[in-house]
Structures are given as structure tokens and as C-alpha cells.
């Protein structure tokens, strides 16, 4: 829930929305999910990373590898403690 993609570098920063342009090639993703679960982040269908969900139900992820220039379609998959 509450998925946020945040541009936190350069002259223009803030939340990114569908169709936005950014100069941040490693934006920060965050949101909420079932405590103890895992969130997998995909870019154009390719896994770019994952984040553990804390006891407070919050997670955060920043790619270690810069994203390529061009269009991106981000999706997430949420797994509970049992891996469902």
C-alpha cells in the first residue's frame, strides 16, 4: 500500500507519478505491506531488487545499479512470511 517512488537528487525532487520525468537514476521506493513479508520490485518485468518489510509494516528500497535512461514500468510483488 501507499507505494511511493521518490526522486531525491538534482534540482527538482519529490514524489514521482505516472508519466513524470526524473534525473534520479536511483529513486527510492517505499510503501507498506504485511509485517515480516518481502516486497520484490520490477522494472519493465525484470526484477531490480527486494526489500524486507519491517515489524511496523514499512519497507524501502533504492537500486544499487542505476536505472537506464528511457521509459520504465515499475511493479511490485508482495510475499507474506510464508512466501505466498
Tens digits of per-residue pLDDT, 41-84?
999 999 999 999 999 999 999 999 999 999 999 999 999 989 89
Kindly list the structural domains of the chain, giving each domain's residue range(s) and its CATH number in brackets, ordered by start.
4-79 (2.60.40)
Amino acid 83: pLDDT? 87
What strand order describes the sheet that includes 74-79? 46-52, 38-43, 74-79
Confidence check: pLDDT of 12 > 90: no
DSSP string for the chain: ---EEEE-SSSS-EE--TT---S-SSPEEEEE--TT-EEEEEETTEEEEEEEPPTTSEEEE--SSPPPSS---EEEEEE-TT--
The residue-averaged pLDDT of 9-21 equals: 92
> For the whole model, what pTM was predicted?
0.91
Amino acid 35: pLDDT? 96
Amino acid 24: pLDDT? 95
Amino acid at each position: 500500500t501507499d507505494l511511493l517512488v521518490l526522486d531525491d537528487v538534482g534540482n527538482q525532487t519529490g514524489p514521482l507519478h505516472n508519466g513524470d520525468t526524473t534525473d534520479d537514476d536511483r529513486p527510492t521506493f517505499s510503501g507498506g505491506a504485511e509485517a515480516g513479508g518481502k516486497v520484490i520490485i520490477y522494472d519493465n518485468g525484470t526484477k531490480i531488487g527486494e526489500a524486507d518489510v519491517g515489524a511496523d509494516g514499512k519497507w524501502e528500497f533504492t537500486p544499487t545499479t542505476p536505472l537506464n535512461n528511457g521509459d520504465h514500468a515499475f511493479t511490485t510483488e508482495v510475499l507474506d512470511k510464508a512466501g505466498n
